[in-house]
Amino acid sequence: MDRHLRDTHGLTLAEYEILVHLSEGHLHMSELAAQVSHSRARVTQTVDRMVRADLVVRSACPEDRRGVHASLTDKGRAVLEAAARDHVLEVRRLVVDVLSPDELTSVGAAMSKIRTAAVDPG
């Protein structure tokens, strides 16, 4: 999937995930890092590239003088819209179309357990 996004839209999977999370509105950088399950340092480096590509902008956080928000640019939103259509088709081709309904149910149940454990490790 990462290769398909790179070849088709010039995005890494991490960049695509960030665009998806920012599509609902701006996010504090630490909140963005938590939502994409990456370190703040990695998200900062990725957002740096995305700012240079005019996909994302940073702005001061009014509630936290040291904090920074990230949000989509118009170009970032357009790139996300184009990439999302193709990404959904690619996921369907690689995952959904090759599994039976029972296998999909099992995968969904397993992913739910993994997500729960990752979000609430206690």
The string of pLDDT tens digits covering residues 56-98 is 999 988 877 788 999 999 999 999 999 998 888 888 888 889 9
* 12 pLDDT higher than 80: yes
Q: Where are the beta strands (DSSP E) in the chain?
A: 27-28, 56-61, 64-72
Which residue type sits at 7? D
**Range 28-37 contact pairs with CB under 8 angstroms and sequence separation of 24 or more:** 28/61, 28/64, 28/67, 28/68, 28/69, 29/58, 29/67, 29/68, 29/69, 29/70, 30/67, 32/70, 37/118
Higher per-residue pLDDT: 115 or 78: 78
Task: List the helix and strand counts (H, then E) for the chain.
Answer: 6, 3
CA dihedral 115, 116, 117, 118 (to 10 degrees): 50
Residue ranges covered by each domain of the chain: 2-119
CA quadruple 13, 46, 119, 80: dihedral sign: negative
At the top level of CATH, which class does the domain 2-119 belong to? mainly alpha
How much is the average pLDDT of 26-55?
A: 92
Could you give the 3-state DSSP secondary structure of residue 72?
strand
Q: pTM of the prediction?
A: 0.78
